[in-house]
Amino acid sequence: MPTFARSSLRLVLAAAALAACGGARTPYSTTGGALQLSKVVLYRNGVGYFERGGRVTGDNLTIRVRKDQVNDLLKSLTVVEKAGGRAVSISMPLDPRAWANAANATLGPGSGSLAEVLDKLRGTEVTLRTKDGEAIDGRILIVEAIVPEPGPDKEQRIERDYKVTLIKSSRMSVVRLSQVAGITLHNGDIALQFQRSLDATAGEGMFQQVDVTIRLSGQHSHDLVVSYVVGAPMWKPTYRIVLPEKGKGAALLQGWAVVDNTTGEDWRNIKLALTSGAPIAFRYDLHTPRDVIRADLSAIGSSRRATVSVGEAGYAQPDAAPAPPPPPMVQPAPKTDAAKDSWGGGSGRGAPANKPTPVTRAPAPSTRSVETKKVDEISAEDRDEPSAVDAVALSTSMQANTKSSMISGLTRYDLDDKLTVPDGTSTMVAIINQQVEGEETFLFRPGGAGSGYEANPYRVIRFKNSTPFALESGPISIYSGGSFVGEGISEPVSANVAVTIPFAVESGLLVSSRAQYRSDEIRLVKIVRGVIEIEQFGRRQTTWEIKTQIARTEDITVYVRHAKAGGSYALMPRPTGAEDLPDAYLIPIKLAAKAIETKLEVIEQTPSRSTLSIWDSRALVLFEGILAQGNLDRAIRDKLAPIVKLRQEVAKIDTEIEGKTRTRQELDQRANETRQNLEAIKRDPAANQLRKKLSDRLEQFSKDGDKLGRDLVELQTKRTEKKVGLEDAMQNLDLSPKEPLSPKP
């Protein structure tokens, strides 16, 4: 290592040592002096509620808080004086980094040198001690690199050096940096920043600390309760489920919570509570001074100039009046909420996961908490051999003294026993040990159970959360027959809500489906001023088919997650046992014992409304079907019958017109063919007899065509009369039944 590099390293260490405050450092944590931590409430959104209590003598209470938690503390700090005093003010120092950012930036890991540090500290007063013992003090003026001149020996190693220029009063001193053995910083704030920056780089202390001072008034001694909310690791749930022995019945549900203490202090003999749900929490900077940009109006007064004017007799030019200064802007000081909040307590017991330090707890009582149901005893003769993992063994080996409470829509686990969690450890605490009704069954989701299992369902545990607790999302280990059979995870489950947890793939079952769409019957909704409103059903029919590769000795149920058709589609009819999900139905399909396959048709239909004209053929069919109903209301029948009669008469006329028009078209075609034949034999003297026959036929075609034309005119006239009458009747018809009218099937 070059001489200058070794010297620079020693000088950096020396500067840090000179800047240190002395003494061993303690972990940076949020501490309240004489106030002991008594309660901790952890949430799932990255914050924790901390409560301290105790007696303080004097008028000031100092709380030491990590720099990264100052804003959360200011946002949520509450101070309660039990004996009638009150908190007057809360004060803390501003961040000194604003005065030393330039120097602090050079201390980043892997960057910067002593010369760069000193150059960034221009203007700072220091004392340089040389290797000869000389002390030179002054303010740093400049740090310059010395360019060495090459010597006669080309192999001579060239070492880079710097010279530091100090100024004191009118005297400047120049010192080679390689000759400096020690540096003293006279600016305490910069020295403190060096120390804190080195702590952060080395991973010691982790964060800066700020002393928050609460000034109290009233009597000399104060009995205080201080609470605040700061960032904390979320608690993590994990569950165990022991399946019922016969596939359906009582299943054992156990819940644990993993709690992490990263606060920098031990939680000794505290009340612990765990809250589920998602309360809103955010960051907000209340510690950093926040300047407001204001308009600079300085130029208004200085930019005004009086114009030079030549004086004239009898006139005077007055001086321009100076512009008034702009009024000062008043910047409001930040306010701190001091709303008092009352919280209940919780408790639990646990053991540290990372340190050998034992967890302090009281001996386990012989009876369980009243909130935990007792697991039925299973006699030894009911099983062939003892199992290491069964419902009785797990239930009796765990005690969950936990109470449930609802606070503003959030479920909270309050642990009855006090808990000790050493700093820097993870602890598991028992929160649930209770029987729930459940069953082991199968669930098929569209797409199957994954790649290679597209047609296979999951093996699942379905149970109802009959506990008073909301189950947060977390891993769930499933046990059956004395061993582990799989694991799953679920979305959060509220109390008294059923949940389905997949934990394995059932490759012995195959599930398939096919769907088809069609329209259904038309129903009459109403008739208003000639407009016929109808209701028509769209239908989706899905056929689910389940096959088993092995004959089963017992009936099984496969739950199918059937995606909803959307819109206003509804199940018609609704399958027995179907459950509603936000975007699907959970439909049970039973496969009988020894059966190889089974099918179930799921029908969804939705009404869609549209309008018809009376001249639409579907309208006449609909009206005729409605009149065919034997139990049709007489008033409705009396209104519809004349309409149907007129429409039938018009339809009959239309049929006649269509027939006569078709006959007339055929006559015209045959007449044209006869004319062409007559034209072909016109010059043949031997075709007189044939010519006469064709002429007589053409004359008859003309007579028949004239008669058809007269009949069509008469029918068109009659149709027009009927049409006008029908349209008038429709305009005067107002029919609005209570329920849509269906035609007779």
User: Residue 304 has what pLDDT?
Assistant: 57
Kindly report which listed range (300-314, 629-643, 697-711) carries the lowest average pLDDT score.
300-314
Model pLDDT, residue 310: 45
Confidence at residue 340, expressed as pLDDT on a 0 to 100 scale: 38
Closest Cα partner for 580 from 592, 591, 596, 569?
569
pLDDT band at 95 (very low <50, low <70, confident <90, very high): low
**Nearest by Cα to 261 from 435, 77, 48, 562:** 48
Of the pLDDT bands very low, low, confident and very high (cuts 50, 70, 90), residue 38 is very high
Rounded to whole angstroms, the maximal C-alpha distance in the chain is 156
Q: What are phi and psi of 249, to 5 degrees?
A: 145, -145
Q: Who has greater pLDDT, 387 or 298?
A: 298
Average pLDDT over residues 702-714: 90
**What percent of the chain clears pLDDT 90, i.e. is strictly above it?**
24
Indicate whether 618 pLDDT > 70. yes
Residue 716: per-residue pLDDT: 93
The b-or-e profile of 35-55 (16+ CB within 10 A means b, else e) is: bebbbbbbbbeebbbbbbbbe
Rounded-to-integer distance, Cα 257 and Cα 263, Å: 18
Which of 159-173, 540-554, 685-699 has the weakest average pLDDT? 685-699
- Residue 334 binned pLDDT confidence (cut-offs 50, 70, 90): very low
pLDDT of residue 714: 92
For residues 712 and 34, the model is more confident at: 712
Q: How far apart are CA 432 and CA 434, in angstroms?
A: 6
Q: In this model, does residue 453 exceed pLDDT 50?
A: yes
Q: Look at residue 271 and tell me whether its pLDDT is greater than 90.
A: yes
- DSSP code of 685? G
User: Does the pLDDT of residue 86 top 80, yes or no?
Assistant: no
717: left (phi over 0), alpha (psi -120 to 50) or beta: alpha
Per-residue pLDDT tens over the stretch 581-598: 888 999 999 999 999 999
The arithmetic mean of pLDDT across residues 562-576, rounded, is 86
Whether 57 has a pLDDT exceeding 80, the answer reads yes
- Poorest-pLDDT segment among 42-46, 208-212, 549-553: 208-212
**696 has pLDDT over 80:** yes
Mean pLDDT over 262-280 rounds to 86
pLDDT value for 180: 93
Lowest mean pLDDT among 316-320, 422-426, 657-661: 316-320
Give residue 682's pLDDT: 81
**Helix (H), strand (E) at residue 500:** strand 498-505
Instruction: Render pLDDT for 151-204 as a digit per residue (tens, 0 to 9).
Output: 666 666 667 889 999 999 999 999 999 999 999 999 888 887 777 666 655 544
Average pLDDT over residues 363-376: 38
Q: Which residue has the higher pLDDT, 183 or 282?
A: 183
pLDDT in tens, 254-265: 999 999 998 888
Give residue 103's pLDDT band: very low, low, confident or very high (50, 70, 90).
Answer: very low
More confident residue, 610 or 578: 578
C-alpha span between 427 and 150 (Å, rounded): 66
574-580: long-range pairs with CB below 8 Å, 24+: 575/600, 575/602, 579/498
Residue-level pLDDT at 689: 85
One-letter identity of residue 710: R
Per-residue pLDDT at 435 exceeds 50: yes
Average pLDDT, the chain: 78
Q: Which two tokens stand for residue 703?
A: 């007579």
Spatial contact of 223 and 83, defined as CB atoms under 8 Å apart = yes
Residue 693 has pLDDT above 70, yes or no: yes
CA separation for the pair 672, 676 (Å, rounded): 6
- Under 8 Å between Cβ of 431 and 255: yes
